Amino acid sequence: MASPGVYHVNTPLLESIDMSRRAGTAVYLKMENSQPSGSFKIRGIGHLCQKLAGPGSKGVVCSSGGNAGMATAYVARKLNIPAIIIVPSSSPELVVQKLRDQGATVRVVGKVWDDANTEAMRLTQTDGLTYVPPFDNPLLWQGHASVIREIWACLPVKPGAVVVSVGGGGLLCGVVEGMREVGWGSVPILAMETEGAHCFNAAVKTGRIVTLPDITSEAKCLGAKTVCQRAFDYSQEENCPIISELVSDKQALEAVETFLDEERVLVELACGASLAAVYSGLIQKLQDEGRLPRPLGPLVVIVCGGSSVNMSQMQHLKKILHT
């Protein structure tokens, strides 16, 4: 159970023997999939709602690929206030159903998250609802930073690197802030995206923020067309070692399958992008290129989780991605 007024739980940090063997260093998994709303999002959104949406609030509105919506709906239910969640048509039906089960009103607007967000902003202006952004707000980053404080409290040594998935960059910002807080600011962060949902990588490569023309990845929860300014700013700081890497949807899906097989936990494609850093041999490749040290200290993977997955969704993805 979470403490009163706090919505997230302290999740397990598990050492994985199979992943350690593959990575050539100890791999620790921070199991954010076991948060009440199914992902890390509850950390930042719980914190933001506590500050901005008290019990007297008219309600909250959140634009989401799914998981930010799940966290918002969960917190609103606990606060006893209404929640409207706007998702794009690319979010699978199973997410819409889960959001309704949490008591939220769900509206499907537009093709990708950016479209849904325009509608959420409109409702904030017209209906006086509190806007819950999925990734771009300092209160979210402060909340997400708690994931690093928890890891710091139970990991005996400084990690060699930390692996995170990047959508709009909110988790990345929280991780950077948390790492600085605990004195791990020099530890490399491996920022993972899928090809076709690679707004952070595109910005890093181009040297400025760019807006992707479309989201072509199936990892819809990584599907923001533009990364948030702060995440890009961190990538430009000399003392902030962020390595931006991409995997294909196929690699992310294979990672989800291997993780299910070996660790007995089902996560969505957005999380598979991080897991693929280990399963696709990327860690060794970065070591070969001199971008990560060899030997490498313990590798911490934030298992960000996600609710957009079940066995039939897996079968659907296997079919369209030909795995």
By CB under 6 A, name the binding residues for ligand PLV.
39, 41, 64-68, 113, 134-135, 165-172, 221-224, 268, 270-271, 304-306
Output 81 or 95, the one with its CB closest to ligand PLV.
95
Shortest distance (Å) from residue 194 CB to ligand PLV: 11
> For residues 74, 77, 83 and 87, what is the CA-based torsion angle, rounded to 10 degrees?
30
Output 24 or 121, the one with its CB closest to ligand PLV.
121
- DSSP labels for 20-80? HHHHTS-EEEEEGGGSTTSBTHHHHHHHHHHHH--TT---EEEE-SSHHHHHHHHHHHHHT
Output 296 or 301, the one with its CB closest to ligand PLV.
301
One-letter amino acid for residue 20 of the chain: S
State yes or no: cis peptide before 295, omega within 30 of 0: yes
Shortest distance (Å) from residue 157 CB to ligand PLV: 26
Shortest distance (Å) from residue 244 CB to ligand PLV: 12
Output 21 or 111, the one with its CB closest to ligand PLV.
111
* 3-state secondary structure (DSSP) of residue 158: coil
Shortest distance (Å) from residue 55 CB to ligand PLV: 24
Alpha helices, H only, 219-280: 229-236, 249-263, 269-279
Q: 241: buried, middle or exposed (CB in 10 Å: 19+, 13-18, 0-12)?
A: middle
Shortest distance (Å) from residue 15 CB to ligand PLV: 22
Output 16 or 67, the one with its CB closest to ligand PLV.
67
Output 19 or 171, the one with its CB closest to ligand PLV.
171
Given its phi and psi angles, is residue 220 left (phi above 0), alpha (psi -120 to 50 degrees) or beta? alpha
Shortest distance (Å) from residue 214 CB to ligand PLV: 14
Residues 6+ apart with CB under 8 A from 204: 232, 235, 242, 244
Dist CA 24 CA 13 (whole Å): 19
